[in-house]
Amino acid sequence: MSVADEIRAEIAATDFRHGDLLPSEADLGSRFGVSRITVRKALEILRGEGLVESQQGRGWVVTRAPLRQVLGEFSTIEHQLEEIGVVPRRRIIASRVIEATGRLEEVLGGGELLEVTRVNLADGTPFAKVTVWIPSYLGRGLSIMDLEHRSFYELLSSSRLLRRPLKRAVQTIAGVSISDADAQLLNVVAGAPGLMCERITFDEGDHPVLFSRSLFPASMAVFEIELAPSFDSIAPTGLRLMEST
């Protein structure tokens, strides 16, 4: 793990807020066993990601604390942001009807799907690109204003077209590199580390109703989950190793 990765992880694991002061370059160098030049290069990388900045007379400060989502709660990240006083907003990029193929057909079955792509913002700062798919009949009558002001969970829960209430979701998170196009949307450097989250939401009959992919810059998102005691393994619950190619 590089020094930039170490500092990024420390910011994510600690309750840093906007404007909080980081340890000095000398202290960081001692902690990681590297020179101040190496620390400075690492901080410049994080400055390029918009995570820190240098302030004259103070040192390096956090400019964008990671947003936290608690896994294990059946809710949206926007709802959790509102609970901590952050103003969430959605900006719709595209909305269209497509034919289900590949992974979409595997999850939601065949037929037409409504595909909506948006950027999620927190206090005006983009923090996620989200694409959502639902059966097209469930999206009948939804406007762009509906999609920007209410979550799909809210829209579907109030829809008479949904036969059974939403009950549970399964979420998978994997590390990725952010593409040039997505980096422009999220105001980060192309190739920066990201977290790709796939979520399948089921109704009370255990039928998949909604499928989504959310891309977060790794420096901006932290996912937390409480694990029950287990003596079978020290590996994180739900960990799945990827096959080498």
Tell me the per-residue pLDDT of 133-179, one tens digit each, with 9 for 90 and over: 999 999 988 999 999 998 898 898 888 888 889 988 888 888 999 99
Residue 21 per-residue DSSP state: B
What ranges in 49-149 are assigned the alpha helix state H?
Answer: 77-83, 102-108, 144-149
Question: Per the structure block, which two tokens stand in for 88?
Answer: 């969430």
- Check whether residue 39 and residue 78 sit in a common domain: no
pLDDT of residue 241: 47
- Check whether residue 95 and residue 178 sit in a common domain: yes
- Check whether residue 28 and residue 87 sit in a common domain: no
Within a domain: 171: yes
Residue 121: give the domain boundaries. Answer: 67-224
Task: Tally the domains of the chain.
Answer: 2
List the chain residues with pLDDT less than 70: 1, 12-15, 17-18, 64-77, 79-80, 83-85, 226-245
- Check whether residue 127 and residue 178 sit in a common domain: yes
Task: Give pTM, 2 decimals.
Answer: 0.68
pLDDT of residue 219: 74
Tell me how far apart the alpha carbons of residues 21 and 62 are, in angstroms, rounded to a whole number: 7
